Amino acid sequence: MNRDLLKVYFIMGTANAPRPLEVLKKALEAGITLFQFREKGEKALKGEAYQQFARDCQKLCQSYSVPFIVNDDVKLAVKLNADGVHIGQDDESITEARKRMKGKWLGLSVHNQEEVKQAVKGGADYVGIGPIYPTTSKDDAIKPIGTTLLKQVASHYPDLPIVAIGGISEKNAPEVLAAGADGVAVISVICQSQNIIQTVNSLRAGELSSKS
């Protein structure tokens, strides 16, 4: 997997923005490098509405040549011929997901060294490490883990692409990237932004700041 695709990894569902497709379009115009469709929560879309929203998001991504990743739902990812799927520790096993997503990208959320080891063994194309900082985007988010694991993984697995997630903003992105992440996965910082172009540019600029 090209690590550059993880630079500004935007995650969103209808619960994150009142006009999600408008937000996605602006984010794509601003230069996000990867998009993850994540439709969860009490008021999450179901059935055909859920699938149609996913198709609408995928179509937008395709028009900007930005890869479209599905969160957790391997069945939907296969049905839509998505560019990849991202799963968590409580979702379908990485072994089964890998079998069903041949030739596609597979990302896995990890929170400790053992989970990283299993991700590598199972054939993950990249890992999502976090939550790095406190986050309000996930009701079931675990306690923030900081950048220690991120530094360890970057050192022990130099060939493994890493995206950091959880409470990341324009201000702390440079610290995360300096710790070894190839990019940042964000939700609120873009969905709640008053100037999405400026926000995405600031997140991109964090890479330069981390190397200075």
Contacts of 171 (CB under 8 A, 6+ apart): none
How many domains are there within the chain?
1
Residues of the domain holding 62: 3-211
Residue 139 has a pLDDT of 58
Residue 137 has a pLDDT of 64
Residue 9 has a pLDDT of 98
Helix 20-30 and helix 47-63, axial crossing angle in degrees, nearest 10: 20
Residue 212 has a pLDDT of 47
Which amino acid is located at 105 in the chain? W
Q: How many CB atoms lie within 10 A of CB 148?
A: 10
Q: What are the pLDDT tens digits along the chain (212 aa)?
A: 999 999 999 999 999 999 999 999 999 999 999 999 999 999 999 999 999 999 999 999 999 999 999 999 999 999 999 999 999 998 888 999 999 999 999 999 999 999 999 999 999 999 999 999 997 765 556 789 999 999 999 999 999 999 999 999 999 999 999 999 999 999 999 999 999 999 999 998 766 555 54
Cis peptide before 131 (omega within 30 of 0): yes
Single pTM value for the model = 0.94
CATH number of the domain enclosing 82: 3.20.20.70
CA angle 125, 85, 203 (to 5 degrees): 75
Residue 29 near residue 8, CB atoms below 8 Å: no
Residue 32 near residue 10, CB atoms below 8 Å: yes
Residue 50 has a pLDDT of 98
| 209 burial via Cβ count (<10 Å: 0-12, 13-18, 19+) | middle
Q: What are the catalytic residues?
A: 38, 109, 138
Residue 134 near residue 150, CB atoms below 8 Å: no
